[in-house]
Structure 1
Amino acid sequence: MKKIIALLIITTFLACCNKDDNLEPAPPPISQLPPATQTGANTFGCLLDGEVFKPGITNNSYNCFYQLVDGEYYFNVSASNQKAGILKAIGIATEKKTISLGRTLNLLERISGNAYGTYYTGNSNTGTDDLMYTSQTQTGELKITKLDFTNNIVSGTFWYDVKDNQNVVHQIREGRFDMRFTQ
């Protein structure tokens, strides 16, 4: 009888154990972003609606240029990724506007003389897509933390909001990039 009671106690104890008890919790999303470096590491990342966004899967998953065209400067840094047929791309750009070290630019609507943010999503399974821009009401900021013309390195931080065609506001937060740019 003692053996049966001992066996029941052990069985009950083992049944109460959860194999997940020893697993560590997932790290917070912000810790999964690339570090905010200034070495030309070609990194890009942000939180998109609280989830980690980093480039990957697609060819040419990131791009950066700062070019003088007809006497005006154009800057662009963007990254894309694709999972399960859904392509997402996030970018920051200027049209006829210079960037400079330490300067914070307001991200507004996409017009000449402004800096702006973009968010694109396309679903190859359904054939739907949406290209969103910052605006006068959905704004953000870009701060240039390094601008090195000798080594063609630009680094910065950003955040912004955009509204999709269903009137859902998407939040891009904790953005950072450290890229080599073409001129």
Structure 2
Amino acid sequence: MKNLFSIIIFTTFLACCNKDDNPIPTNPVDQLPPATQTGANTFGCLLDGEVFKPGLTNNSYNCFYQLVDGEYYFAVTANNTKNNVLKAISVGTEKLSISQGQTLTLLERAYGNANGRYFIGSNITGIVENYYTSTENTGELKITKLDFTNNIVSGTFYFDVKDNQGIIHQIRDGRFDMQFTQ
């Protein structure tokens, strides 16, 4: 009986030691940063079902909302390098203002439009590819917060782009909470 009791205690001890207090979520969406509105400088989305977040290097994200020659330009961009391949995701506007609560359709890159972009570049091959939303492959950008006092812009987005081989890349569940420059 003493041996049985010792085995039960030992088994319980081992089971407790194997528990991970902070397990990594298995659902990719749960691995994205929360959709906050505090200027936390966070960005994340799913790129073809895989988690995409900024890398840990300097300049891995950027956000601006600027008035240039009487026209507004907005962009939030995040990039990450893995295996010598730089990937970047961005959403923005050209000659188009944004406002809190506004939902914009992501179309082709043109003045007066909002657009989405997926960029791939390789240090090894030197090949650079830019894929933008279009009238056929669109998306949506929703501005959930725009605070000029604290220079905070937050929002959500999703879009599709078609690459040179005709493959549609899906960017989903995008969210950002950034401090912007003017």
- Shorter-chain TM range is 0.7 to 0.9
Using the TM superposition, give the Cα deviation of residue 129 of structure 1 relative to its aligned residue in structure 2, in angstroms.
Answer: 2.3
Please give the alpha-carbon distance, in whole angstroms, between the structure 2 residues aligned to 1:162 and 1:57: 26
Aligned residues: 163
**Alignment partner of 1:170 is 2:169:** yes
The whole-number CA distance in structure 2 between the counterparts of 1:118 and 1:164 is 11
Greater Rg, structure 1 or structure 2? 1
Q: Which residue of 2 aligns with 1:18?
A: none
Structure 1 runs of 4+ aligned residues shifted over 4 Å read: 22-26
Partner of 2:97, secondary structure, is coil
For 1:98, the equivalent position in structure 2 comes to 97
Once the 2 structures are TM-superposed, how far is the Cα of residue 27 of structure 1 from its aligned partner? 1.4
**What does 1:121-132 correspond to in 2, within 5 Å?**
121-132=120-131
Question: What's the C-alpha RMSD, in Å, of the aligned pairs?
Answer: 1.7
Query: What secondary structure sits across from 2:143 in the alignment?
Result: strand
Structure 1 SS opposite 2:66? strand
Aligned residue in 1 for 2:67: 68
Unaligned runs of 5+ in 2: 1-18
> 1:110-169: per-residue Cα shift (whole Å, max 9, x none)?
000000000001122333221000000010000000000000000000000001111111
For 1:62, the aligned partner's letter is Y
Q: Distance in 2 between matches of 1:70 and 1:83?
A: 38
Letter in 1 for 2:31: Q
**Could you say what secondary structure the match of 1:135 adopts?**
coil
Letter in 2 for 1:85: N
SS of alignment partner, residue 58 of structure 1: coil
Name the counterpart of 1:116: 115
- Extract unaligned runs of 5+ from structure 1: 1-21
Question: What's the TM-score once normalised by structure 2's chain length?
Answer: 0.85
Residue of structure 2 equivalent to 1:134: 133
1:155 paired residue number: 154
For residues 144 and 126 of structure 1, the distance between their equivalents in structure 2, rounded to whole angstroms, comes to: 37
| Separation in 2, partners of 1:64, 1:25 | 28
